[in-house]
Structure 1
């Protein structure tokens, strides 16, 4: 009987190299895999960066409404697909449609302002009497008005000085808003599709993210995975939704008080309400305008309406919704708002403040951990 160790190897059998004689690899397998992963992620970001804004918006909405969606699913006894379809439909009816209608109406009012600007630039306009009658500063305002606005061509010179563009180029940009609206509609469609997927498969996606996050940050991921959802929910509920509500309520008050362009001013108030102190500034300026233009009673009542509404929101509604006021510093909130609009358009109004709130929350969490467990030398 032939000993297996003495058997002659087959000619077609692959030769087994001695590990000691194998060449030393320039890059280890682990390093090569990591660099390959980085390359794939970078390529994916490059090719799909156009979908980043709608996916971020869908992620924020899904985070904020996830507990409610699970509660509705259990109460109605329906599956995840039906729950996802129901919530997407609710968001379209009660969020997308009202916001779109308000923006369209505000754009129509802005067109009237633009036509007025072109008419004044062509023919000039006298200083409003209520400005001239202001004590102490009426004459100075009249002089500045006639220098920068009142004479023909003054507005074009002012626009050229401040922005570097001609008034005609700005008007052409306004006329090209149709392309912006089409791009916004595409982003909205992609956001709704991503939101449906998140509602339906959110559990699986969250589980996979937890596995990878625990691998990357083994000591901090458990705490961060709790901070991030709570921060997103508190920011969306305590800042975005309440700001939209303040814009609606104060916009109705503007309309009742007889303020010109109440929808546009309501939209501006809602945007400014995202910034601490923005809403009081808006309704105070509008109240001053009413008083100065000969409607003192309407101005005083509008100011009282805004002050009472702000007190009720800050002392009752906001603590009930988020368990306490959302304490965000002014500067991060302002940068999040302006930076979000600059990089993401109208969607950045909601995405920017949330991202800054996450950054501030993670910063505070790390500071708390350092203070609780200081490193010993």
Structure 2
């Protein structure tokens, strides 16, 4: 893609690198930043709910208590862990050794570190600009050095292995981002709480074999159990069709 851009601007590497950086900012960095902002706000709401529940306790939601087969057991577990003041704090302390207050402060700190992230992003964009503009010259110097060190194997090491790793990692990353985006939109249309955060989690889970179907299946079960069976069924069908299309068309081309 960058080579095509370079041809389109008559070989001017500075202009081509500038357009490449603008493209990355417009279609990758800014959307991810917006999604991250929404996700942090949603996580803050989760933590605020957890703090309130930890302070006063909470009764078992009706949709959990009335679930077939496992509803009674889940009701007992909820009452044991969340039904009394301090229950969530005790559970978090048992699992992670942290307390809920420190987790909340960590979420606030993550949301307030935007300036540091902005500086990091700025340096990354500057480095990427020079990599686009002068990358071919730099690669030529590395090739000359590599041929002196490993004259018989450098061609394979420097071309075949990086290309294989790059195609696999890039393909998996693109698919994970796409699945998180598509299923995040589906969560929003289905009326799922915190669709951005759940979409981001689905994208992360998509990097693990079986992670994406597990994610949208659990969300579909939540919708069905909470009184929206048609929305849950529609979400499950949406996810299944999307997963089938990705596995049969995009994944073989991007990952191999």
Specify the alignment match of 2:131 in structure 1.
198
Specify the alignment match of 2:110 in structure 1.
177
Superposed CA deviations along residues 231-284 of structure 1, whole A, max 9, x for unmatched, are 344134411112111111101100111111111111111111122211111111
Specify the alignment match of 1:224 in structure 2.
157
Alignment partners' CA distance in 2, 1:231 and 1:182:
36
Q: Which of 1 and 2 has greater Rg?
A: 1
Q: How does 1:294-305 map to 2 (within 5 A)?
A: 294-305=227-238
Which of 121, 129, 141 does residue 74 from structure 2 map onto?
Answer: 141
- 1:153 correspondence with 2:86: yes
Q: How big is the shift at 1:180?
A: 3.9
- 1:106 correspondence with 2:39: yes
Specify the alignment match of 2:53 in structure 1.
120
Alignment partners' CA distance in 2, 1:317 and 1:253:
19
Specify the alignment match of 1:54 in structure 2.
none
Specify the alignment match of 1:277 in structure 2.
210
Specify the alignment match of 2:226 in structure 1.
293
Q: How does 1:31-180 map to 2 (within 5 A)?
A: 68-178=1-111, 180=113
Q: TM-score, normalised by structure 1?
A: 0.65
Which of 248, 253, 256 does residue 315 from structure 1 map onto?
Answer: 248
Specify the alignment match of 2:179 in structure 1.
246
Alignment partners' CA distance in 2, 1:227 and 1:277:
29
Superposed CA deviations along residues 163-193 of structure 1, whole A, max 9, x for unmatched, are 1122222222222225643332222111111
Specify the alignment match of 2:195 in structure 1.
262
Superposed CA deviations along residues 355-375 of structure 1, whole A, max 9, x for unmatched, are xxxxxxxxxxxxxxxxxxxxx
* Runs of 4+, deviation exceeding 6 Å: none
Alignment partners' CA distance in 2, 1:264 and 1:175:
16
Gaps of 5+ in 1: 1-67, 327-377
Alignment partners' CA distance in 2, 1:115 and 1:207:
54
Alignment partners' CA distance in 1, 2:123 and 2:80:
49
Q: How does 1:345-356 map to 2 (within 5 A)?
A: none
Aligned length, in residue pairs: 256
Gaps of 5+ in 2: none
Alignment partners' CA distance in 1, 2:52 and 2:26:
39
Paired residue secondary structure (2:69): coil
Q: How big is the shift at 1:75?
A: 2.9
Q: How big is the shift at 1:92?
A: 0.5
Specify the alignment match of 1:9 in structure 2.
none
Alignment partners' CA distance in 1, 2:165 and 2:15:
25
Q: How big is the shift at 1:78?
A: 4.1
Q: TM-score, normalised by structure 2?
A: 0.94
Superposed CA deviations along residues 29-78 of structure 1, whole A, max 9, x for unmatched, are xxxxxxxxxxxxxxxxxxxxxxxxxxxxxxxxxxxxxxx11122113324
